[in-house]
Chain A
């Protein structure tokens, strides 16, 4: 019997080059060891990376002293360092501040300590807005100075006291809900 479909390329005679894969010089072994070390290094690097990202202490958080602790009407923190890109856009405003009894004794604090109803807030006068701000020039009137101290004691706490209440209650008045706002609008800083 004969092989019917002889392929032209005959197999080479039994090789004398030793078993397949075996590298007597050991060069491949060393290379594989290097690759293994490399893989280990990558793996270790990744593990260190993740551990550093997740487990590192919280000592590098952002310590800040942001709240202007019940600043007096005239020493309000005016516009921040010019680093702030928003600095020029809006005039410095002094917020409504409340403090707990434990806070630094400021004249107002005694009043605010009484929680719900009588909580008082101090709204100092907003100094004149920086009219010359290099803002993207909104058409709004630039320097409408705010009214000196719109003291709305209970008003400051009302919206905050009941989470979603203002939202839901605002639905009812609808268009007329803005009535109080309209009343005072002309004197408000028309800044955006």
Chain B
């Protein structure tokens, strides 16, 4: 969350390398994910076996009479139209919409008991989902036909989709069984008389691709689940003529179908009907081994669909995990913030309900403090910063360390000739070296560090160091506020800072695992600093590194919300990107450097397990997963119920809003800027996670970084309305 740590120095080491190729990889991966989602969404959410109702438009004037009054097997390739019916006393059994994991096996069992074979018109997607069933169907000698890929109404589908659906259905069957089939039953058809113009044009087109259309002449109407008796009655032929019987093994509860099939088969046997497959009934051999090209296509389809399913499944798991983590964090953070806030208002060791009069905990800390201001080219803001510190109500000594500035920063301070202000000039060596120079020159036991672009309120230093009354406390974090909060970018950062400081930081305080004392405002015990060897330059986030080192050294690090420091936030997306890139990369470095804390005991273990765990999950893993969330949101809007997706989004937004509103209330801020919260979901959120991706890739690749400090405008001062809040 928000931490402040500015005044970066240009690195003076190797030639920096830039990493860019990963954006291409990321983009390609997201596109592939989008494709997987599109495929999966198309297969599972655009078709629909359950909706087995005939199409609305029933115009049929273009259907040749040969078809509308002919036999149920239609061959219409070329100009000729031929239809056939099964011969007399022959019943061709057909089952649509399978294979179904529950009902298809039971139907197969019944068929085997009666020693009959049937034709299964399988839906391609179901075949891919239940390949063993389809193989069993073929192995037991039944015939298989195409029922499209996703149970699509070919009569109303556009040309491209007709081809895709039929070819896809074929590919699925080939991919699973290695057999190519030539019977096609379009979904939503029954008898010849029900063929509409649209369906006819579809059938006509499919005939030229080599398919025989199989309609039905006797509809069991089992898809309406009218009861076993009704289905049995429907299955009774009205005469000796051959029939193609339509039943269903998929698309719903087929208990009645199974029961009716059993009794109907017994009756057919008694009555001397021959029960067989469609191909056998009309005398065609509809299946043949697929060619190798067909096999290749089929396997590609099956594999492609399985991969897509797997990807969507994995993403769904990730989404659930991310949702749970987000909610847990919200609950956790608000719970601990409330506890911290209550504790801060109470006198220690006292009964409930007694509010303290001021910020002090225990005896008042009155000893003077040394304030170190590391400065590199801070000419724009250094004067305001130093003056604001000197105006403190607490006795302070100010040490300005000029880290080889080229803009006369040191001269500006010296020209002020202020009492109690020391200027140290040194060669440019980075912020850690500047801080160490200040630490060496410090004459008091309490050291306050502040960035050169940050201004204090008069009471800030006094409020900040009060927790040192507790001898266990080694460092204290102040409360950084955004001064330039106008504009939407400022408002977003303002919200982020308020939430970060008033929720996350209170949580870290209560859980005793503070990972960062911000460089903008922090107080340290001099001996604690010396014990950990000063400020290390191992990482770009020397403040995080230092804080973690103190935690591991056994010190408690706490948060003092009354100690406010006003800072200037980046005003452009580019500057914000650079700043966050550096923070994120530096935090990763510090986490890696102190990873050993995870297995340590005591205060170090608390930092390692709680603090590093929290950072890892919420500031590394969650942002890395975030682009997928965005792609999935698009998928949901297109293929799932858009209202439900929108509702889900609103719930998350409401949680965020509640958190932010609570943080604002704790900090006594006006709620006005919160209106930008919904917009934060768009530009800002993406920027934040892209930064994390960039930082992680850079870290893993081990390349050297170059970064830039932000432009200063010198507009900084404590806002009048906020100053004495």
Chain B residues, Cβ within 8 Å of A186: 272
Knowing A96-B71, A98-B84, say if A166 contacts B537 (CB, 8 Å). no
**Inter-subunit contact A163/B242 (CB<8 Å):** no
Q: How far is the CA of A3 from the CA of B472 in the complex (A)?
A: 7
Is the CB–CB distance between B89 and A189 below 8 Å?
Answer: yes
* Contact yes or no, B22 A36, CB < 8 A: yes
Q: Once the chains bind, are A100 and B73 in contact (CB under 8 Å)?
A: no
Task: Check B14 for interface membership: any CB of A closer than 8 A.
Answer: yes
List B226-247 residues whose CB lies under 8 Å from chain A: 230, 233-234, 236-243
Interface string of B539-550 (1 = CB under 8 A from A): 110000000010
**Residue B323 interfacial (CB < 8 Å):** no
Is chain A's binding surface mostly helix, strand, loop or mixed? Answer: loop
Residues of B contacting A33 in the complex (Cβ-Cβ under 8 angstroms): 21, 701
Chain B, 683-725, contact with A by CB distance < 8 Å: what is the 0/1 string?
Answer: 0000000000000011111111000000000000000000000
Q: Does B445 contact A (CB under 8 A)?
A: yes
At the interface with chain A, which of B313-321, B527-535, B570-578, B656-664? B527-535
The answer to whether A167 touches B220, judged by C-beta atoms less than 8 angstroms apart, is yes
Tell me if B598 counts as interface (CB < 8 A to partner A): no
Partner of A40, one of B28, B71, B192, B525: B28
Residues of chain B in range 83-129 having any CB-CB distance to chain A below 8 Å = 83-90, 114-117
Interface centre among A4, A21, A33, A80 (most CB of B within 10 A): A21
Q: A3-B528, A53-B171, A192-B116 are in contact. Are A181 and B71 (CB under 8 A)?
A: no
CA distance A152 to B590 in the complex (A): 90
- B56 to chain A minimum Cβ distance, whole angstroms, is 16
A60 CA to B272 CA in the complex, in Å? 41
Q: Whole-angstrom distance from the CB of B171 to the nearest CB of chain A?
A: 6
A44 at interface by CB-CB < 8 Å: yes
Q: Answer whether residue A39 sits at the interface, using C-beta atoms and an 8 A cutoff.
A: yes
Which of A19, A50, A77, A89 makes the CB contact (< 8 A) with B589? A19
A158 to chain B, nearest CB (A): 7
- In the complex, chain A residues whose CB is within 8 Å of the CB of B702: 21-23, 26-29, 32
Cβ distance B271 to chain A, nearest Cβ, rounded Å: 5
- Which residue of chain B has the shortest Cβ distance to A80 in the bound complex? B285
Q: Which of A2, A39, A192 contacts B25 (CB 8 A)?
A: A39
Contact flags B430-472 to A (C-beta < 8 A → 1, else 0): 0000000000000001000000000000000000000000011
Q: Is the CB of B700 within 8 A of A32?
A: yes
The answer to whether A162 and B85 touch across the interface, beta carbons within 8 angstroms, is no
- Asked if A43 is an interface residue, CB under 8 A from chain B, the answer is yes
A32 with B701: in contact, given A3-B531, A95-B85 (CB under 8 Å)? yes
B79 at the interface (CB under 8 A from A): yes
User: Contacting chain A: which of B248-256, B276-284, B559-567, B641-649?
Assistant: B276-284
Expressed in whole angstroms, the Cα–Cα distance for A10 and B600 within the complex equals 11
CB distance from A33 to the nearest CB of B (A): 7
Shortest distance in angstroms between A98's beta carbon and chain B's nearest beta carbon? Answer: 5
Q: How many A-B pairs with Cβ below 8 Å? A: 424
Interchain CB contact under 8 A, B210 and A64? yes
A5/B602 in contact, CB under 8 A: yes
Which residues on B sit within 8 Å (CB–CB) of A6? 553-554
Q: Is the CB of B471 within 8 A of A155?
A: no
Residue numbers in B under 8 Å from A126 (CB-CB)? 87
Whether A62 touches B288, Cβ cut-off 8 Å, given contacts A3-B528, A160-B85, is: yes
Residue A159 contacts which of B166, B218, B532 (CB distance < 8 angstroms)?
A: B218
A69 within 8 A of B: yes
Given the complex of chains A and B, what is the CA–CA distance between A189 and B331 in angstroms?
76
Least Cβ–Cβ distance between A64 and chain B, in angstroms: 4
Quick check: A3 and B554 within 8 Å, CB to CB?
yes
The tally of residues in A whose CB lies under 8 Å from a CB in B reads 119
B residues near A7, Cβ cutoff 8 Å: 552-554, 600-604
A96 / chain B contacts, CB cutoff of 8 Å? 71, 84-88, 241-242
Query: Are the CB atoms of A188 and B603 closer together than 8 Å?
Result: no
With contact pairs A5-B602, A7-B553, A163-B219 given, residues A68 and B276 touching in the complex (Cβ less than 8 Å): no
> Cβ of B35 and Cβ of A64 under 8 Å apart?
no
- How far apart are the CA atoms of A155 and B531 in the complex, in Å? 104
Determine whether A134 belongs to the interface, using a CB cutoff of 8 Å to chain B: no
Task: Mark A173-187 against chain B: 1 for CB-CB distance below 8 A, else 0.
Answer: 110011011101110
Are A64 and B39 in contact (CB-based, < 8 A)? no
Q: For chain B residues 194-226, which have a beta carbon within 8 Å of chain A?
A: 194, 209-212, 215, 217-221
CA distance A1 to B539 in the complex (A): 28
Report the separation of the CA atoms of residues A104 and B80 in the bound assembly, to the nearest whole angstrom: 8
Closest to B295 in A: A60
A192 touches B283 (CB 8 A): no
- Report the minimum CB–CB distance from B35 to chain A (whole Å): 6
Interface pick from B298-306, B374-382, B495-503:
B298-306
B35 touches A46 (CB 8 A): yes
Is residue B32 within 8 Å, beta carbon to beta carbon, of the partner chain? yes
- Judging by beta carbons under 8 Å apart, are A50 and B308 in contact? yes
Q: Which residue of B lies closest to A91 (CB)?
A: B274
State whether the Cβ of A56 lies closer than 8 Å to any Cβ in chain B.
yes
Minimum CB–CB distance for A118 against chain B, Å: 10
Contact B538 A180 (CB under 8 A): no
State in angstroms the CA–CA spacing of A188 and B168 once bound together.
40
Question: In the complex, which residues of chain A have a beta carbon less than 8 angstroms from the beta carbon of B272?
Answer: 181, 185-186, 188-190
Taking the closest CB of chain A, its distance from the CB of B112, in whole angstroms, is 9
A102 at the interface (CB under 8 A from B): yes
Q: Which residue of A lies closest to B290 (CB)?
A: A62
A32 to B703, CA, bound (A): 11
Q: Are B239 and A53 in contact (CB under 8 A)?
A: no
The answer to whether the Cβ of B141 comes within 8 Å of any Cβ in the partner chain is yes
Across-interface contacts of A10 in B (CB, < 8 A) = 553
Q: Quote the shortest CB–CB distance from A174 to chain B (angstroms).
A: 6
- Contact mask for chain A residues 31-65; partner B; CB cutoff 8 A; 1 contact, 0 none: 01100100110011011011011101010111110
**Interchain nearest-CB distance for B526 vs A (Å):** 9
Q: Please, how many angstroms separate the alpha-carbon atoms of A21 and B699 in the complex? A: 6
Cross-chain contact A39 with B29 (CB below 8 angstroms): yes
Chain B residue, CB-CB nearest to A138: B115
CA separation between A152 and B88, bound complex, in Å?
A: 8
Say whether A163 contacts B240, CB under 8 Å: no
Question: Given A1-B527, A13-B533, A173-B238, are A21 and B279 also a contact pair (CB < 8 Å)?
Answer: no
B115: A residues at CB distance < 8 A: 135-136, 138, 192
- A181 CA / B633 CA spacing, docked (Å): 60
Contact B269 A158 (CB under 8 A): no
Let me know if A184 and B240 touch, CB within 8 A: yes
Flag whether B425 is at the interface (Cβ < 8 A): no
Cβ of B233 and Cβ of A152 under 8 Å apart? no
Q: Are B304 and A50 in contact (CB under 8 A)?
A: yes
Q: List 22 A-B contacts (CB under 8 A).
A: A7-B602, A18-B538, A28-B701, A36-B25, A43-B29, A43-B31, A54-B168, A68-B284, A93-B86, A96-B242, A98-B71, A100-B66, A103-B80, A119-B70, A140-B269, A160-B72, A161-B192, A164-B221, A171-B234, A174-B233, A181-B89, A184-B88
**A interface residues, Cβ below 8 angstroms from B:** 1-7, 9-11, 13-15, 18-24, 26-29, 32-33, 36, 39-40, 43-44, 46-47, 49-50, 52-54, 56, 58, 60-64, 66-70, 76-77, 80-81, 83-86, 89-90, 92-100, 102-104, 112-113, 115-116, 119, 121, 123, 126, 135-136, 138, 140, 146, 150, 152, 155-171, 173-174, 177-178, 180-182, 184-186, 188-192
Task: Give me 7 other A-B pairs in contact (C-beta within 8 A), A53-B305, A96-B241, A184-B89 excluded.
Answer: A29-B19, A50-B300, A64-B210, A66-B212, A86-B143, A155-B241, A191-B274
5 A-B pairs with least C-beta separation: A23-B702, A163-B191, A115-B65, A66-B284, A5-B554
